[in-house]
Chains A and B, each alone.
Chain A
Amino acid sequence: MYAFDYVRPASLADAVKALGASEENRPLAGGQTLIPTMKQRLAMPATLIDLAGIAELKGVRRDGNAIVIGAMTTHADVAGNADVKAAIPALAALAGGIGDPHVRNSGTIGGSVANNDPAADYPAAVLALNATIITTTREIPADSYFTGMFKTALQPGELIKAIRFPIGAKAAYSKFEQRASRYALVGVFVAHTGAGVRVAVTGSGAGGVFRSAPLEAALAKGFSVDALKGAVVPSTGLLSDIHGSAEYRASVIPVIAERAVAAAR
């Protein structure tokens, strides 16, 4: 690790100020991604702004017809939260399937969504559930938030405060793991609301998480496993690596989508 400075502001305003002080500064959430990168000397922030001391970034609240989850809420807290479990059980289940207990007790939803790892789980939920990313400067709809692998609409100095998930979808997430990392090789989040069906796929897109038009079209005809029979996902735009070719991923995506549809409630 390179030497760095560390601050732990108590308010969001102080955090934004500290972050704005230099382009080399970086916010620190659970550290599950950032710290390993620093250890490998692949990142060298000047100052780490630890968000752990900011009370307003933590916790889950129900806000009308939505669940709002503070950026610094850990995966374990989302997985175990009674409101989330009751209102959006698919989201609680997804959080409970991230990494291992250590990762779940440290890693946060804000860190995950800010990082936008192409194989991370939360981005699929955010996209399929049509959530809104609430930042220090604005509200960003999911459809315009994820802009590419490890890329988001966040501007320098902008922090995620919370994520707002609408309640009411019949939904589920199914994850087919890459065997070494146990991140998603293919993760499919399906959500069915009065407004239609949204299907988000993670782990497979060369540009990160994406919505699958063919699967959404198939499920629009009827939200059932049968409706997916014969659905074809093209391999163009999919990742190819030692764990799975694009062709393989394309073939597995509908199978995992079936599992998600079968589990949706």
Chain B
Amino acid sequence: MAQDGIGASTKRREDYRFLKGIGKYTDDINQPNQTYCYFLRSPVAHAKIGKVDLSVAKSAPGVVAIFTAADLEAVGGVPCGWLITGKNAQPMKEPKHPILAAGKVRHVGDPVVAVIAESLNAAKNAADLVSIDYQELPAIIDMRTAQTKGGEPVHTEATDNMCFDWEFGDKAATDAAFAKAAHVTKIDLVNQRLVANAMEPRAAVGVYEIGTDEHTLFTTSQNPHVIRLLMGAFVLSIPEHKLRVVAPDVGGGFGSKIFHYAEEAFVTWAAKKVGRPIKWTAERSESFVSDAHGRDHVTHAELAIDANGKMLALRCDTFANMGAYLSTFAPVVPTWLHGTLLAGQYAYPAIYVNVKAMFTNTVPVDAYRGAGRPEATYIIERIVSKAARELKLDQAEFRRMNFIRKDQFPYQTPVALVYDVGDYEASMQAALKLGDYAGFPARKAASAAKGMMRGIGVCSYIEACGIAPSSLVGALGARAGLYEAATVRVNPTGSVSVMTGSHSHGQGHETTFAQVVASKLGIPAENVNIIHGDTDKIPFGMGTYGSRSLAVGGSAIVGALNKIIDKGKKIAAHLLEASEGDIEFKDGAYTVKGTDKKKTFGEIALTAYVPHKYPIDTVEPGLEETSFYDPKNFTYPAGTYICEVEIDPRTGTTVITSFVAADDFGNIINPMIVEGQVHGGLVQGIGQAMLEGAIYNDKGQLVTGSYMDYCMPRADDVPSFKVVTTVTPCTHNPLGVKGCGEAGAIGSTPAVINAICDALDIDNIEMPATPERVWRAAHAKTMKAAE
């Protein structure tokens, strides 16, 4: 057996450089003769750009060049990667997203002028001298009234500010189910806007080599090939062989670094214009107003239930905020990543969903950890708990009554997806046990005796990872394929370099992928190196998001490893003078069936590169294989989370006293890394439930523009988590894996809110459930009780 192979909780090799502060991030990259870029951004949400006076700024000390939209007329806009077709075959409105604001600014933070100078300070000083005449327009901020507000729309292409009006599901069947329902539960939910807040702010370094006419962009991306594709083809018209995109160490993305951003296109373009490398690094306050935000849905949902407590149908109307421009994958988040998830873990026959996507004068909104699935899960798991409360049924029991049973897989949902496998009862039971659900009433009584209110919340989530297959997503409007690629290069002395299209920005791929290789080849994991993030080094791959890296990227690696193993068999057969069919590969050695004749993997590798005694007529020298893997289906991680809270009604302070997660991620490569991913996800989901929220005032100013006001979760805001996994291996990929990157963020938010509602004995509370909101709800209760 390989050491540190599949199943081992190996320590993350990348942590050595991360913890010692010797990682190499985009901002660590400096080029000879480098200049610095500062973007002067709009201070107002909506305005016509009048006169822009650069005359004084241009002669400021250290200025190299200053650009505005007028200089970029020949350059394309930032493209959108997904076309949504709405009701009546109406394509979404897709107004141009210029690199620098042209004619109008559409959100606070919209870049208007780019100043390039010898130092960042010189660039900022010059920017102070730019004068821009903003003719302010009323800002469109609330997506619910955006359609009817009147006045100047965000884009003239969408006079009612609607990007698309999309529907999905069987409306007639849903209406019919509601008509015969014994009970209907209704809920109004706001899934508030969040700011991703990756630890490393975005940065970009653009380089142009005049001698070879080659462009290089170093950027903070989760998917360098996607950036090369979008920026090269749609924005700058640079052919791929002249454009290299490198995403070195990246300090977290959470989705916000999937997208192609104007700043990276700008530095790439301008580096050629000024003939010098250009660096830009966002400051934190700049990140707040320029990184794509997440969530921001407003939903009305209704659930039909029969007299036996069986769920019959779900109906949802959602407003989804697109912000001021369409970010790369924004349209798919509230549609295909949301509507198709509304079946949850439940066997109800009918679903209908309508989504109205609106333009507003706010930062663009796009995928954020979970992307659409947290929003869907929030709807289902909140309405299910509310229904249980109305029907006076136990919230866990009501879920169990409606679960898709183990024997129903593969299960066709009413919203297109086919769940391949799962065992929802198993994870529910594991969670109930771990959370001592049965002991809750005693704990509640003990809290009440102290004047505290205790509540428990259950959430049984499902999610869909590894968006695929390409043929399906193509039919749904994706403008790219969603496979992954890997090259496995066995070096002459038997060490292995793996070039993967997946990108690691905190996930630990360098460790996990090496474990997969170690197990498959029977070699120590330390002999394996994982290379990613550089379009000049790796095969064309689609990158990391949607918890796809192991399920899709890992499968591509396995495909390449299988080819390596097969080729090795041919070489071994030749060396061992046996027929290929008699060669077996196990534990790092090729043997002839039924004999003790063997060659180690290292010997075969050396022979492949020193082919003196070699089947040269039928087998090429070398040992390097590439595989592209296009998944057959999504994978469907699922599980049950249980949150318990204790509330001090006098202040509204809410403490999570226990949080239990039972997840089914299929097979697991590195349990420790999986646990870490769950912990991180849980904290993000708890952050949404209790702490985080981007607030715009009606002028379109981001009130929560810094950490003084935008509350990021800290270690002491969360309890010590109890996590377990139950396993039903994925049926359609070679590792039987499902993905674990987003589950925590998807399942925890509703669990927390369900617990708070349970404690306060109320139907709903707005997120984040701040002390004041909780206090108000508790206060209203005590006032009512006093009457």
Contacts and interface: CB of A to CB of B under 8 A. Distances in A.
Please classify how large the interface on chain B is, using the bins under 10, 10 to 19, 20 to 34, 35 or more. Answer: 20 to 34
B285 interface: yes
B695 A242 contact: yes
B650 A179 contact: no
A242 B651 contact: no
Contact of A242 (B124, B704, B771, B776): B704
Contacts of B121: 1, 3
Interface stretch (B2-10, B220-228, B708-716, B749-757): B708-716
A242 B711 contact: no
B435 to A, nearest CB: 25
Contact of A179 (B125, B703, B771): B771
A41 B651 contact: no
Contacts of B470: none
A252 B704 contact: no
A244 B711 CA distance: 14
Contacts of B650: 251-252, 255
Given A40-B285, A41-B124, A179-B770, A251 B775 contact: yes
A181 B707 contact: yes
A3 B122 CA distance: 10
Interface in B679-727: 691, 695, 703-704, 707-712, 717
B772 interface: yes
A179 B708 contact: no
A242 B709 CA distance: 8
B707 A176 contact: no
Contacts of B717: 179
Contacts, number: 47
A181 B711 CA distance: 7
Contacts of A2: 125
Contact of A245 (B703, B772, B779): B772
A1 B650 CA distance: 44
A256 B653 CA distance: 12
A251 B704 CA distance: 24
A180 B707 contact: yes
Contacts of A251: 650, 775, 779
A243 B770 contact: yes
Contacts of B704: 180, 242
Nearest to B125: A2
Interface string A222-265: 00000000000000000000111100100110011000000000
Contacts of B710: 180
A180 B704 CA distance: 10
A179 B711 contact: yes
Contacts of A243: 709, 770, 772
Interface residues of A, number: 18
B707 A244 contact: no
Contacts of A180: 691, 704, 707-712
A126 to B, nearest CB: 23
Contact of B772 (A41, A181, A248, A256): A248
B651 A252 contact: yes
Contacts of A1: 121
A57 B710 CA distance: 36
Nearest to A248: B772
Contacts of B708: 180-181
Given A41-B124, A176-B651, A242 B285 contact: no
A3 B125 CA distance: 10
A181 B717 CA distance: 13
B124 A255 contact: no
A179 B124 contact: no
Interface string B96-140: 000000000000000000000000010011001000000000000
Interface in B176-203: none
A242 B125 CA distance: 33
Nearest to B779: A251
Interface in B647-677: 650-652
A256 B652 CA distance: 13
Nearest to A41: B124
Interface string A167-181: 000000000100111
Given A242-B704, A244-B772, A245-B772, A255 B709 contact: no
Contact of B651 (A3, A245, A255): A255
A185 B651 CA distance: 11
Nearest to A258: B650
Contacts of A181: 707-709
B183 to A, nearest CB: 36
B241 to A, nearest CB: 42
Nearest to B776: A248
Nearest to A259: B651
Contacts of A256: 651
Nearest to A254: B650
A179 B121 CA distance: 33
A176, A181, A256: most-surrounded residue (chain B CB, <10 A): A181
Nearest to B120: A1
A101 to B, nearest CB: 14
B117 to A, nearest CB: 14
B128, B652, B703, B771: most-surrounded residue (chain A CB, <10 A): B771
Interface string B742-776: 00000000000000000000000000001110011
A244 B771 CA distance: 8
A243 to B, nearest CB: 7
A252 B770 CA distance: 14
A245 B776 CA distance: 11
A31 B587 CA distance: 61
Contacts of B775: 248, 251-252
A179 B711 CA distance: 6
B651 A179 contact: no
A194 B125 CA distance: 58
Nearest to B772: A248
A201 to B, nearest CB: 15
B771 to A, nearest CB: 7
A181 B704 CA distance: 11
Contacts of B128: 41
A42 to B, nearest CB: 11
A3 B709 CA distance: 29
A255 B128 CA distance: 48
A245 B771 CA distance: 11
B695 A179 contact: no
A179 B691 contact: yes
B783 to A, nearest CB: 12
Nearest to A100: B714
B285, B691, B711, B779: most-surrounded residue (chain A CB, <10 A): B711
Interface in B594-618: none
B124, B125, B703, B772: most-surrounded residue (chain A CB, <10 A): B772
A234 to B, nearest CB: 17
Interface in A142-186: 176, 179-181
B124, B708, B717, B770: most-surrounded residue (chain A CB, <10 A): B708
Contacts of A176: 651
Contacts of A248: 652, 771-772, 775-776
A252 B124 CA distance: 44
A5 B110 CA distance: 34
A1 B779 CA distance: 47
21 contacts: A1-B121, A41-B124, A176-B651, A179-B691, A179-B711, A179-B717, A179-B770, A179-B771, A180-B691, A180-B707, A180-B709, A181-B707, A242-B695, A244-B771, A244-B772, A245-B772, A248-B652, A248-B775, A252-B650, A252-B775, A255-B651
8 cross-chain pairs, A with B, having the tightest CB-CB distances, nearest first? A180-B711, A181-B708, A248-B772, A179-B711, A255-B650, A244-B772, A180-B709, A252-B651
Interface of A: 1-3, 40-41, 176, 179-181, 242-245, 248, 251-252, 255-256
Given A179-B771, A252-B775, 7 more contacts: A40-B285, A179-B717, A180-B704, A180-B710, A242-B704, A243-B770, A251-B779
